[in-house]
Amino acid sequence: DTEVTQTPKHLVMGMTNKKSLKCEQHMGHRAMYWYKQKAKKPPELMFVYSYEKLSINESVPSRFSPECPNSSLLNLHLHALQPEDSALYLCASSTRLTASNQPQHFGDGTRLSIL
């Protein structure tokens, strides 16, 4: 069982839909991350939140909109996605952004398919 919970596990949406991915952790971690992973590739960093504030945006298109409503929750709002956005979206958390010796803990991801 993972300590980072992601919902839904699978999501199929059309290019005009609006949907949200959710991530929750109760480990008291203050850094949270969104990654995108294509098949047979390592994860690619999208966004980083530190103490509920956006710290890093890796030049992600605006059709992806992150939100961190509190220290335990992280959302990723999706709108007008493209077929190439189909991927596994992983959430992760770690104790603090400055603690580079502390591992990130990953959820099981949301498998997103864009029709």
Partner 1 sequence: AQSVTQLDSHVSVSEGTPVLLRCNYSSSYSPSLFWYVQHPNKGLQLLLKYTSAATLVKGINGFEAEFKKSETSFHLTKPSAHMSDAAEYFCVVSEAGGGNKLTFGTGTQLKVEL
Look up residue 107 and give its two tokens.
Answer: 């959820």
* Residues 6+ away with beta carbon under 8 Å from 26: 3, 72
- Residue 80 Cβ, how far from partner 1 at the closest point, in Å? 27
Nearer to partner 1, 45 or 73 (CB): 45
Does position 107 interact with partner 1 (CB under 8 A)? The reply is yes
CA–CA dist 30, 72 (Å, integer)? 8
Site for partner 1 in 35-94 (CB under 8 A): 40-43, 45, 48, 55-56, 90, 92, 94
Tell me how far apart the alpha carbons of residues 60 and 101 are, in angstroms, rounded to a whole number.
26
List residues binding partner 1 (CB under 8 A): 2, 4, 6, 31, 40-43, 45, 48, 55-56, 90, 92, 94, 96-109, 111
